[in-house]
A and B are shown apart, each in its own frame.
Chain A
Amino acid sequence: MSKLTRLRSEEECLTGCGDRLFALIPSAKRRLILLVASCAMGAVLGSSAHGLVSYSEGVIVICTLAIATGISSLWTP
């Protein structure tokens, strides 16, 4: 296989990976459904464990968000 052919096949492979990953990012309609669904899950949690959440002033929720934010920092340029 020539160098040019190898480079082309590598490029095609990378483009294919990019397309597949891009497909994971939902459209506006799907994003709205995801937002509503996550709000509904939060509402169930908030209403069933409101005592725990309000007593701790939301520390548990904030700590969960903090860990997620820390992990997301991996994407900081």
Chain B
Amino acid sequence: MVGTIAPIVYGEIKSARPRRIVLLHSVAYILGASLFGGGIAWVGSVLLSSVPIADGLTLFVSGLLAMFCALVEFDFIRVPLPQSQWQVPIGWRRLPFELMAVLYGMVLGTGILTRVSVSTFYVLISWALICRHPVLGAVSLGFFGVGRALTVIWLSYGFRNLTECNSLVDKLPLWRGVLHVLNGMLLGMASSCMTLASIFH
């Protein structure tokens, strides 16, 4: 996605349009993620409506799953996690800029339709499913959209030109190992925090 939005921003078009496109794209990320989160939580509320869930069980289960994902991120467990291999259609680049930015944002904002870079995402989905509260699901997954939007805003305005931006994007794969370690640490913290909070509950 960065490869699509960044050239527009750093390209020849230097009017108010790039700013509007980045804004639209960012809002679409948050909207797509929130709709997905709300939808998952609604599905959870329908599926688990007859299942009695004790107070603190959501935290306990999420904590255990976070520990499992931490072990995956630290490469102690190697499990192929389910994910879609689909990629956003390149043909959408021919659409009007505004429509393209919104479409890409909404689809990528869900996070599940394309490849998943870190297993942390599965903790979010499972939590939204178990919490059975569409508003909470929409808010929490909405922050996933915020995170995605922050990267696009940084890449769109943090560099002087497209060459600088592309050179950073080219170096990103080198940092993949560090990314997994950082995610593993966050998951480890979240795991013990949620599990202990559920026990003290």
Contact = CB atoms under 8 A, between A and B. Distances in A.
B141 interface: yes
Contact of A68 (B74, B108, B176, B183): B183
A73 B178 contact: no
Nearest to B56: A54
Nearest to B128: A62
B191 A39 contact: yes
B148 A50 contact: no
Interface residues of A, number: 47
B104 interface: no
Interface string A12-55: 00000110011011101001101111111111011101100110
Interface in B131-167: 131, 133, 136, 139-151, 155
B116 interface: yes
Contact of A46 (B183, B186, B193): B193
B151 A66 contact: no
Given A31-B184, A35-B185, A76-B115, A46 B136 contact: no
Given A35-B70, A75-B117, A57 B136 contact: yes
Interface string B94-118: 0000000000000010010011111
Contact of B172 (A31, A66, A75): A75
A41 B55 CA distance: 24
B201 A65 contact: no
Contacts of A75: 117-118, 172-173, 175-176, 179
Interface stretch (B7-15, B16-24, B44-52, B119-127): B119-127
- Most B CB contacts (10 A, CB to CB) among A36, A53, A69 go to A69
A40 B192 contact: yes
Contacts, number: 190
A35 B78 CA distance: 16
Contacts of B58: 57-58
Nearest to A22: B177
Contact of B178 (A17, A24, A59, A70): A24
Nearest to A69: B120
B175 A21 contact: yes
Nearest to A41: B189
A39 B192 contact: yes
Given A18-B174, A24-B177, A66-B143, A34 B185 contact: yes
A74 interface: yes
A76 B121 CA distance: 12
Interface of A: 17-18, 21-22, 24-26, 28, 31-32, 34-43, 45-47, 49-50, 53-54, 57-59, 61-77
